[in-house]
Amino acid sequence: MALSNDRIEISPAQEASVPVEPTTLVIFGGSGDLAKRRLIPALYNLLLDGLMPSNYVVLGLGRRPMSDEEFRATLRDGVVKHSRQALIDETWNAFANHLFYMAGENDDPTTYVRLKARAEELERTFQLPGNRIFYLSIPPSSFTPVCEGLSSSGVAIKDNGHAPYARIIVEKPVGRDLTSAQAINTVTGRVFDESQIFRIDHYLGKETVQNLMVVRFANSIFEPIWNHKYIDHVQITVSEAEGVGSRSSYYEEAGALRDMVQNHMLQLLCLVAMEPPYSLDPDVVRNAKMEVLRCLRPIIGKDVEKFTVRAQYTEGTAHGEPMPGYRREKGVDPTSTTETYVAVKCFVENWRWSGVPFYLRTGKALPLRASEIAVQFKDIPQILFNANGQSPQAPNVLTLRIQPEEGLSLRIVSRVPGTRAQTHPVEMNFKYGEVFGRPSPEAYERLLLDVMVGDASRFMRRDAVEASWAWITQILEGWQQSGQRWLPEYQAGTWGPVEADRLIQNDGRSWRTL
């Protein structure tokens, strides 16, 4: 059952409410996969949608020697393969004239002397005002020499309240525990003011994630019942169908808790649980999310075993293809205790959410790639249409689908046509692609545009990064103290270990079927 059959056509240009100033974007790691697959296709789509600034330069910096022409050819291939909109030769040729490349080592001071000279040369050629954005698509171990090089060479300066501006985008992971996160924040904070630092989490740029605030605060039917009196529990699922593949070296150091829960899933939880902000000012919104992190009940001591489950996938079949067990993946320690699956039961201890459990689960080698937030409301009283205790009525559930099909659905109970009084749950379904007539912008499109206009509301502030790591680090320390040498296992292509089922079944609930 659809919410509406009306199709709404919206021009992309309607989205641009703030003028985008001309700028120079420097991508550290410019020859890498992220630039080719995500960043340049995102900029190209912004250009097609009329959202790029009137003038700009993109300068990639990488270790591999490459000419400007070779750089452009590589990026063109990335746009052909990964852009949501088809490549148009005329538009691409105009776009490519703004793409440049230079080779250099991140830890070589001379790199930044050459970078300053190249940036100034390009800014003179294109008559740019000197606004600069630095995208750190590099390992966190390189953050210190890059920030120090930008500062010592004068390529970037701390915000003084006057034009031109300098901004830095930091890719996750921002650390691997509280101590390392604090170290990274200290390094970036020495060179840049907090208002100049944009810690990117691509999940926060997804359409459905952005719509969550609108659903809550633009519809009077939800906010009055968005509390412990009416909501039974919340499930947040991020399911990945692939194994670790070529990311084994990174994954061995990270694991599912660091890779997905610390950033993506806690941010989704914050959007579900936050109090209504009094405005859409970036710091007002981020203050509201920060309060949720402050209210998270610590999981320490015996609670680590009680409220968390970790596991590894074993040999199995996924999408008809055989998949080796995690410990047999290339680059993985055969005795590894790195988790590829994690489930957590947590509580937000404030007046609104008192006693309401939030169940989080994420894993590799699961049956499908999907992400969703499901808010399950409490059962109706056991009278009238719910009087049969042997066959209870299905509860109402509001589901926000983040991927693969962005949209939302509301499950309600309806009467089955006929002479008998029968009921059946039905779904009121909304899909972005069907209603608005065009694909949603990719997350990186929205986030890069936010940086260019200076809107930090969809980026994590330093205190939020450190608060989330403080909560996660307590779990990591609990796992380490347990001394487990073997983790529970689940077969590749299944929905996780039995221990995760018990985590929620012990409360009389069950995981949703995606």
Catalytic center residues? 264
Q: What is the DSSP string of 271-339?
A: HHHPPPPSS--HHHHHHHHHHHHHHBPP--THHHHHHEEEEEEESEEETTEEE--GGGSTT--TT----
Per-residue burial over 379-417, b if 16 or more Cβ lie within 10 Å, else e, is eeeeeeebeeeeeebebbbbbbbbeeebbbbbbeeeeee
Query: Pairing state of beta strands 231-239 and 370-377?
Result: antiparallel
φ, ψ of residue 150 to 5 degrees: the values are -65, -40
**Residue 109 near residue 20, CB atoms below 8 Å:** no
Q: What is the DSSP string of 158-203?
A: ---SSSSPEEEEEESPS-SSHHHHHHHHHHHHHHS-GGGEEEE-GG
Residues paired with residue 254 on neighbouring β-strands, in sequence order: none
Q: How far from chain centre, in Å, is Cα 363?
A: 15
**Residue 150 near residue 186, CB atoms below 8 Å:** no
How far apart are alpha carbons 256 and 312 in whole angstroms?
10
